[in-house]
Amino acid sequence: MLAHQRQEVILDAVRAHGGVRVADLVERLGVSEMTVRRDIGELSRQGLVARVHGGAAALGRTSEEPGFAAKSTRRPDAKRAIARAAARLAAPGASVALSAGTTTAALAAELRSVPDLTVVTNSPRVADVLHDPDRTVVLSGGERTPSDALVGPVARAGLAGLHVDVLFLGVHGLDVTAGLSTPNLLEADTNRALMACAARVVVVADATKHAVVGLTSFAPLTAVDVLVTDTALDPADRAALAEHVGELVIADPTEDPT
């Protein structure tokens, strides 16, 4: 079977079922896993499917914004591993900013053990997790999004003039071409404001965020000093991302946290 014929089979399966697993395609097409992954990669590059861990899925709408509760059930082990790895980048006594999101919420829990932090955030959930009489937590104002971010002109005004050592930024999607993106225009503007006040930008994003493109891009990958993701990211994709970000950190969800 020729490559374009295999890709038609993959595309038909995704259209019919919303997604398809690599293992099922290997059995159905009688080819190697590497060949299937290459075909999925080609379909992804053409914008026909979304490449996800273990297979391919139908493309979501670029304006679709899942709520916090829905996102919190997706790959929690990977998010905790990413949070542990990212927390090591926060020095005692530092000033840090955290954007909203389920991965940054997991990171906030890890940062509770880092002493003397000053925290700036546009996430009420992050502020609640890090609330402590002995810790300074600055919460921006703004309009609340489905993902529990405070965004818009009030949020931007609250961030203006601030300077932090490091920003930990959650993203809806990251892509070599589209960069960092979100389905929410106001959140894009607020994320730019967060990045502008940080000496160092650390993006925390699990492997499913790769090759996802939201409605609007707000920064290129070259603006990312450190990208912390997980072992589910395909080696070829790791190499591609590593060429654009300052440093790539791979967190292992199976690693003993102790």
Confidence of residue 67 (pLDDT cuts 50, 70, 90): low
Q: In this structure, which topology does domain 3-57 adopt according to CATH?
A: Arc Repressor Mutant, subunit A (1.10.10)
CA distance 255 to 248: 18
Record the pTM. 0.76
**In this predicted model, what pLDDT tens digit does every residue of 95-116 receive, in sequence order?**
999 999 999 999 999 999 999 9
Sketch the domain layout of the chain as residue ranges: 3-57, 68-251
Q: In this structure, which topology does domain 68-251 adopt according to CATH?
A: Rossmann fold (3.40.50)
- Nearest CA among 110, 109, 108, 103 for reference residue 119: 108
**In this predicted model, what pLDDT tens digit does every residue of 135-186 receive, in sequence order?**
999 999 999 987 889 999 999 999 999 999 999 999 999 999 999 999 888 9
The two tokens of residue 47 are: 């914008």
198 in helix, strand or coil? strand
Q: Are 33 and 22 in contact (CB under 8 A)?
A: yes
**In this predicted model, what pLDDT tens digit does every residue of 2-26 receive, in sequence order?**
898 999 999 888 877 767 889 889 9
Q: How many CA atoms lie within 13 A of 253 on its CB side?
A: 13
Do 3-57 and 68-251 show the same overall fold? Answer: no
Q: What pLDDT sits at residue 54?
A: 76
Percent of the chain at pLDDT exceeding 70: 93
Backbone angles phi, psi at 135, to 5 degrees: -125, 135
For residue 63, pLDDT over 60 is answered with no
Backbone angles phi, psi at 25, to 5 degrees: -70, -35
Q: What pLDDT sits at residue 59?
A: 66
Q: What pLDDT sits at residue 62?
A: 53
Q: What pLDDT sits at residue 105?
A: 95
